[in-house]
Chain A
Amino acid sequence: MTSHSRLKSIFQFSNLIERSLLSSRSEPVLPWRKPNWPSSLAKPTPKPTLGVYYDTSWTRTKPSRIARAALVDWLIKPLSSFVAMPTVEGLDRLGNVSTPVIFVANHSSHLDTPLLLCSLPQQFRHKTVVAAAADYFFDKRFKAAVWSFALGIIPMERTKVNRRSAALAEELLRQGWNIIIFPEGTRSPDGWAQRFKGGAAYLSLKVGIPVVPVYISGTRRILAKDSTKLHRYPTKVVFGHPIVPTTPALSSGAGNLKGKKDTEDAVHFEKRIEQEIALLADACTSNWWEALKRHKSGTTPSLGGPKTSPWRRSWELPPSSRSS
């Protein structure tokens, strides 16, 4: 082959490549590329898929549940036991409760969720979801997928009333799932509990199921809000008696309360839940009998702490609620 013909063939080949590149740049459309939207049609705003709109149903499929059970039992539980060294009390109070139930606890650390989940007896643990802040845990797809798979969290709107998150929680309760709710809506910034929101009481009234108050202490010493470092510290998880909204005819035990006009309202019931958790907290710092007497006389220390200046509130904190 002469140098001239070689050059010619190289030139032809480069032409061919260029043509194919050009054509591949202009030609491929649907189905190889995402279709264009016709100019004459208004483009609808895409449906949100994060926050309260994140679909967690895949985490409740059988394969996901089996995988989560293995993850919780074989990894999260040993790890949380190592870090939190928990003492679990009051499990005997769950003996006769009929599922599903709503576990309501105070909230001062990210550790609260895995610790409470791992402290639940077997019959509850693998059929429990956790209501978590939609704007915090479900703001990114990967984060939402990881946490909803690992801990079975579901998105809960905490800044405004949202029918979607309440409806999801209600639907899951009706399907037999237990729910863990932290009614403060966020972790405690100073160790004292914040005002309880009414979601748990509302759901209990709506579905007609009991609430189990839970007090968790010590987790703030391990990982307080805004803290990035873990410190080992012994913790306590105390389960209270299951409670239901009171009616003149029904003062204890579970039952379908929907539609009963005489049932106590959600605001009052939420206060009672808070008092029950305060009783458990008081019992942790003193003893059950003394705490019970104060509870009956209405002198149980508030979970929210003294209404004084910030430094005095910090001063008053029990050791287990302080940050490390």
Chain B
Amino acid sequence: MSQRLTRPGLILEADRNTPPTLFWNGEGFYLQRLPKGSRIIYPPEPVESLYDIEDGIDNALLNPTGDSQPLPDLLKPDMRLTIVFDDISLPLPPMRSPDIRQQIIEAVLDYAAQAGVDDVVLIAALGLHRRMTEPELRHALGNRIYDAFAPHGLLRQHDAENLDELTHIGTTESGEDVEINKRAADSDLIVYVNINLTAMDGGHKSMCTGLVSYKTMRHHHNPNTLLHSRSLMDMHSSALHSSIWRMGRLIANSGIKIFQIETTLNTDTFPEAFGFLQKREWEWSLSDRVRYITTSNILEKMPPRASRAVLHSIKSPYQVTSVQAGEVEAVHQVTLNNLHAQQLMVVEGQTDILTMGLPYIGPYNVNSTMNPILVAVMGLGYFFNLYINKPLVRQGGVVIITHPTRWEFNPLHHPSYIDFFEQVLSQTTDPVEMAAKFEESFAVDPWYIHLYRKSYAYHGVHPFYMWYWCAHALDHLGGVVVVGGDREAVRRLGFRPASSFDDGLEIASDIVGTNPSITHLHCPPLLLTEVR
């Protein structure tokens, strides 16, 4: 990990001289003046990347962390080697080629070839996510790997519903069934290649969400664990992570050998043309202003589908700040330290109102539509959870989201979301109630299972998990206001629509009074707040 050479995060108190603040608004963005005295949290600037990425990878493979031998010593000619990698949900936006997964897997395969390993299979750790398309796999792995493995059926995507390809490992001390991908379980060595974009990722979570079945997933993805995950970004205070860690240790104790390779990226999220999106507004140059005016106007005039296509074509110039490999828990600790060095910033005190502009992309709508449920999970599941210690917004406070929240779904990727929105959310927004009444029927629905396995659909139960992801925020907050959203869609989510930001503040004043403290999360780029 290199030393930070750039500026740390900034908390600015808006005054009369503070220029308007950039708010993301789905497939667009605008400038909004915040009331005097509001706090604006600007994330730390990108830290220096590894000077020589190939050298960094090699160093990690040869000098593992924790109780692990160097990778070359673990490779034997007659072994079964399975290389597992994170799916399309990471990183966001997708990074420019070459993707770090490609660079690491190529290095691992170099050693495997040198050791004479013939039985090698690559598996995309989908969990209950949709399958990746060929172009997406080619982008993540590069053409060399894809062309060498895919034609021979050696590049696979985890199927959580293929009972023949799952194996039961055991039950944790808390009674959690652990059922994982059979090929991985039967391997002499699993090499997991991860991208840690947020503090939530990595560690045992890689395996225990990416390669498990619904039967296993439901133990940690349920309203109870997610209500007690405070926050998801702090594994020590997260019931979800506790469950996952129990499972991970069970897998390790069962004799399955995992060589974990974790990576961290800096926060250089947008390419030069969109550089103003990650700059502090008062530092915008003339070209930034011209680019803002041009892009915001063009995106606004374009139909949503076209502007979505433009934005989803953005490839992020992320750079790798660290690579570490070896034993899962030891590696993850180093990863978290490196990730905190980039993203963590201290914020003094909570706020009455937390405002956030939601961008066009989240983990579950890469090359797809951000439907109303994904808007909710992006705001309340992810942005709200970007804290350790205590939430940025106080108990009973209000979150104001800016997003168009259109009543639109991608039927290819999110078929069960459509029914969830129509049938479940129309009856209840209570995670516990919907889990009891509806989850099972969606999870075992043969049509959703068929679409998950054979098409490119998220699993039938996935929208439930998204809603559970919001459970902590829903429990904590006094209200959620969506500025500029489709009124019907916003009301269906149980939130309150507002036509303008000022209206949103007015609505929030019903809950938090007329003189509230306001904090704006200037995100992306990503950050993690330690609230004191």
Contact = CB atoms under 8 A, between A and B. Distances in A.
Interface string B28-43: 0001010000000000
Contacts of B12: 38, 40-41
A3 interface: no
A38 B14 CA distance: 7
Interface stretch (B17-25, B47-55, B307-315, B370-378): B17-25
A278 to B, nearest CB: 48
Contacts of B488: none
B289 A31 contact: yes
B15 interface: yes
Interface residues of A, number: 12
A38 B282 contact: yes
B281 interface: yes
A206 B18 CA distance: 49
B15 A38 contact: yes
Contact of A35 (B13, B14, B15, B19): B19
Contacts of B447: none
B18 A31 contact: no
Nearest to B292: A31
A30 B16 contact: no
B148 interface: no
A315 interface: no
Nearest to B31: A30
Nearest to A38: B18
B387 to A, nearest CB: 24
B293 interface: yes
Interface string A23-60: 00000011110111111110000000000000000000
Contact of A37 (B17, B31, B289, B293): B17
A40 B281 contact: no
Nearest to B12: A38
A34 B20 CA distance: 12
A35 B293 CA distance: 14
Which among A34, A35, A37, A39 has the highest number of chain B CB atoms within 10 Å? Answer: A35
Nearest to B290: A31
A37 B19 CA distance: 7
Interface string B266-287: 0000000000000001111010
A55 to B, nearest CB: 15
B284 A35 contact: yes
A30 B293 CA distance: 10
A28 to B, nearest CB: 11
B292 A39 contact: no
Contacts of B292: 31
Given A30-B281, A30-B284, A31-B289, A38 B31 contact: no
A40 B289 contact: no
B13 A36 contact: no
Contacts of B14: 38
Interface string B339-363: 0000000000000000000000000
Contacts of A29: 19-20, 33
A39 B293 CA distance: 25
Given A30-B31, A35-B284, A40 B15 contact: yes
Contacts of A37: 17, 282
Contact of B18 (A32, A34, A36): A36
Nearest to B291: A31
B17 A31 contact: no
Contacts of B19: 29-30, 35-36, 38
Nearest to B282: A35
Contacts of B284: 30-31, 35
A40 B282 CA distance: 12
Interface string B457-500: 00000000000000000000000000000000000000000000
Interface in A177-228: none
B20 A30 contact: yes
A35 B12 CA distance: 15
A43 to B, nearest CB: 9
Contacts of B281: 30, 35
Contacts of A40: 12-13, 15
B20 A38 contact: no
A31 B282 contact: no
Contact of A39 (B16, B283, B289): B16
Given A36-B282, A37-B282, A38-B282, A31 B31 contact: yes
Nearest to B15: A39
28 contacts: A29-B19, A29-B20, A30-B19, A30-B31, A30-B281, A31-B284, A31-B289, A31-B292, A32-B289, A32-B293, A34-B286, A34-B289, A35-B19, A35-B281, A35-B284, A36-B17, A36-B282, A37-B282, A38-B12, A38-B15, A38-B17, A38-B18, A38-B282, A39-B16, A39-B17, A39-B18, A40-B12, A41-B282
- Those 5 A-B pairs whose CB atoms lie nearest each other, nearest first: A35-B19, A31-B289, A30-B19, A36-B17, A38-B18
Interface of A: 29-32, 34-41
Given A30-B19, A31-B289, A38-B19, 6 more contacts: A29-B33, A30-B31, A30-B284, A31-B292, A31-B293, A41-B282
